[in-house]
Amino acid sequence: MYDLEKSNSSVAKLHLKMTVSGVNLVKRKTGRGMSRKENTPVIFLKIKEYIRTKNILALQEYLKTVTPEDVNVKLPRSGNSPLHEACIEKEELLLNTLLKVQGIDVNLKNEDENTPLHYFCAKWTSPDYLTSFQLFIKQGANVDSLNSNGETPIFKAIFNPSIRALLMEALIEKGAKLNHSTHKGEGLLHYAVRLNRADLVRLILQNRPSLDLNIAGETPEKLAVSMNGSQSIQKYLQQISELFKWLDDNDLEELKGIFVKSEITLDLLPDITDDLLKQMGVDKVGTRLKILKACEKEKEAGKYSSAKAGPSQKDEISTDLIGGLENEFQGAGEGILDGNSFEYLKHLGTGAAGDVYKGLYNGNIVAIKVLSVKSAEKEVDEFKKEFEIFRAVRHNNVVKFIGVSMKPRLCMVMEYCGRGSLYHNMKDPAVEISWSRAIGFCKETCQGLKALHGNNPVILHRDLKSLNLLVSQDWRIKLADFGLSRFATAENLETMKQMRGTYQYLDPEVYNGGTFAPASDIYSTTVIFWEIVQRVLTGTYWQPYAEFKNLHYDFQIIIQSAKEHLRPTLSPGCPKSFEELIRKGWAPLQVDRPSLDEIVCKLEAIEEEYKNNQQEWDGLRN
């Protein structure tokens, strides 16, 4: 995850920096004409009255009488149309009402040549943005309209403090061009680098795989280095640059987009197979053979390897940030390790605050979580909180904590679970998951969660999902990733009211203003139960809510689950006892969900039912 709060707070500074560096951003001219009744067209007075009274019926009645000239009139000084003002005021009902008026011109430009869609992309903050956006498109909004700085709406969306990624994806889906440069020579990718947002860099490159130069002759990678940007952005751009060169050298440049979208980097070349290329969408047999031949050359040369060296020994987190941690960890009286004794064997993945490696410590295989050298105070604080959670809980179904090291890098060492996450096991068609194993997974998840909830004070996980359940070599479930977990204490009360976690698994009562509670973790666990049961019944993995093709974004899912009580679809062949358990577990209200003891008791009954009806249950599987 990225520190959006920190990113948002620095947007003003970034605007200033970009202006100084030659990227002059347009400032909106305020609609001061609205304060002078003698110069203000009637429709703006009606809008002002609506904003004051919220009487939409009166406004609708008035709009039935207007002509296209009335609804497309502009304010004298700013040149804003009624649509511009509705976007600026962020009035959803007003905007949607105007967008339905016959003859409305959604492409009118103001004095700065911004269209209403420019302002919508810059200022709209509601996750319920899609209805308004689709109305813009239905009315013929030009997603590539230029303002006086040469910026299209997507250049405004990238600065939106709340829903920038959602808006950018929506614009891209509607054909927004990503190869455009502003009058100052800056491309969208350079904007993303300046914002220090690796997620946006990935989004842009996945849809337009090109590393253009800006007017100063800087590649995005060079710009990231010159701005001392995040290590993840620099590393990712370096990987993309190397990948593009390899594809160019092998006359495969037309496949750049496919390779970027499939997240293929050079270290994965030795692992590419014909089946993988088919899954990636490489349909031509000749092209697949050409790729496999090129990959085989690299494999024989031993040039690229999936193993990754350990983290840099020379880079350390600021001593200002970790100064107090060493005393705190030493005061814990246990688990302080010598980081120089670790051997890093393989890079397993990159998370919000750093990297995870498979490693060796005292002759044992372990997992080593290394905090990024660029981590801010927030990441260090969450690292500390995760350490506190790990120290408080010892259980066979919770990942075992081994210790921390402060030097040469801030690391946390845990037991290594050789089979990876439950999510990846369910996604792998080669992994057999029987009813017996599935019921065991469910029971062990509950036992691990009971260890958290049974602690004094209670520990709430707050991010339970199949990706955060690890599977040991002997097929035992282990709860992991406690970065968002918190002790349920009075001092954490405000934190418990904030939405955290993955929206497909998030308790809808929290979205509706409630507080995280043990029942919130039970809701998340129930969604995992659904994933497991669905995998057993169909033999394939189903992402929660994937069957609802109209839900493209996570925010849509949490809104539908909270407001409309939408839930993942249970297969017709689901055993009645499992169906009843799942429906109770994801009940809309926390008070209606069963306790962990009740769930475990029900699972034991389900297990007994399966043993007595094994042939019938196995017959339900595809």
Tell whether 202 is covered by a domain.
yes
Looking at the structure, do residues 330 and 294 belong to the same domain, yes or no? no
- Do 20 and 34 belong together in one domain? no
Considering the domain architecture, whether residues 107 and 245 belong to the same structural domain is answered as no
My answer on whether 410 and 546 are in the same domain is no
- Same domain? 30 vs 177: yes
Task: Answer yes or no: is 238 within a domain.
Answer: yes
- pLDDT at position 65 over 80: yes
H helix intervals, 371-488: 377-392, 422-427, 435-453
Q: pLDDT exceeding 70 applies to what percent of the chain?
A: 82
Among the ranges given (350-354, 400-404, 407-411, 461-465), the one the predictor scored with the smallest mean pLDDT: 350-354
Q: What confidence score (pLDDT) does residue 493 get?
A: 42
Residues 93 and 133 in one domain: yes
pLDDT for 176-233, tens place per residue? Answer: 999 888 988 888 999 998 888 877 888 898 888 888 777 677 788 888 888 776 677 8
- The confidence band for 613, taking pLDDT boundaries of 50, 70 and 90, is very high
**In the listed set 183, 199, 219, which residue is the last one of a domain according to the structure?**
183
Which range in 49-53, 241-245, 350-354, 533-537 is most confidently predicted, on average pLDDT?
533-537
Total number of domains constituting the chain: 5
Q: Between 337 and 445, whose confidence is greater? A: 445
Peptide bond preceding 311: is omega within 30 degrees of 0, i.e. cis? no
CATH number reported for the structural domain that contains residue 433 in this entry? 1.10.510.10
Instruction: Assess if residue 97 is contained within a domain.
Output: yes
How does residue 144 score in pLDDT terms, banded at 50, 70 and 90?
very high
Residue 163 has pLDDT above 90, yes or no: no
Q: How far is CA 230 from CA 192, 234, 235, 551, in A?
A: 12, 6, 9, 32
Please tell me the distance from the alpha carbon of residue 454 to that of residue 184, in angstroms, as a whole number. Answer: 59
**pLDDT, tens digit (0-9, with 9 covering 90-100), for 296-332:** 888 777 665 544 455 554 444 444 444 555 555 555 5
Dihedral sign from CA coordinates of 118, 123, 124, 127: positive
Q: Is 378 left (phi over 0), alpha (psi -120 to 50) or beta?
A: alpha
Taking the C-alpha atoms of residue 534 and residue 542, their distance in angstroms, rounded to an integer, is: 7
Same domain? 464 vs 593 = yes
- Token readout for 365 is 């295989």
CA distance 254 to 210: 11
Select from 616, 609, 584 the least CA-distant residue to 439.
609
Which of the pair, 281 or 408, is modelled with greater confidence?
A: 281
Sequential DSSP letters for 109-169: --TT---HHHHHHHH---S--HHHHHHHHHTT--TT---TTS--HHHHHTT-TTTHHHHHH
Place of tokens 């350390």: 316
Are 189 and 221 contained in the same domain?
Answer: yes
Q: Are residues 487 and 609 in the same domain?
A: yes
CA distance 467 to 419: 12
Is the pLDDT confidence value at 29 over 80? no
Of the candidates 468, 483, 1, 484, the one whose C-alpha atom is nearest the C-alpha of residue 199 is 1
Q: Where among 183, 200, 231 does a domain terminate?
A: 183
491 lies in the same domain as 599: yes
Question: Residue 374: its pLDDT value, please?
Answer: 54
Which of the residues 105, 338, 463, 521 is marked catalytic? 463
State whether 406 and 498 are in the same domain.
no
DSSP state of 66: -
- Which segment of 78-82, 309-313, 501-505 scores lowest on mean pLDDT? 309-313
At 173, the pLDDT band (50, 70, 90 cuts) reads very high
pLDDT bracket for residue 38 (50, 70, 90): low
- Cα angle 388, 469, 336; round to 5: 30
Q: Is residue 312 part of a domain?
A: no
SS3 187: strand
Residue 268 tokens read as 């994965």
Classify strands 354-361 and 364-371 as parallel, antiparallel or unpaired. Answer: antiparallel
- Please report whether residue 373 resides in a domain: yes
Does residue 507 carry a catalytic annotation? no
Domain of residue 249, residue span: 1-24+184-257
Are 192 and 296 members of one domain?
no
* Domain assignment present for 313: no
Identify the CATH number of the domain in which residue 166 sits. 1.25.40.20
Reduced to 3 states (helix: H, G, I; strand: E, B; else coil), residue 53 is helix
> Which tens digit of pLDDT belongs to each residue from 474-501?
999 999 887 665 544 444 444 444 445 6
Q: Each residue of 86-129: pLDDT tens digit? A: 999 888 888 999 999 999 999 999 999 999 999 999 998 776 68
pLDDT-based confidence at 377, cuts 50/70/90? low
Q: What is the pLDDT of residue 128?
A: 67
| Amino acid in the structure at residue 404 | V
DSSP 28: P
* Backbone angles phi and psi of 404, in degrees to 5: -130, 155
Share of the chain above pLDDT 90, in %: 43
**CA-closest candidate to residue 541, choices 446, 445, 433:** 433
Question: Which has the minimum average pLDDT: 440-449, 456-465, 470-479?
Answer: 456-465
* Within a domain: 311: no
CB burial readout 271-299, b (16+ within 10 A) else e: ebeeebbeebebeeeeebebbeebbeebe
- Choose one of 415, 448, 477: the last residue of a domain: 415
Tell me, yes or no, whether 314 lies in a domain: no
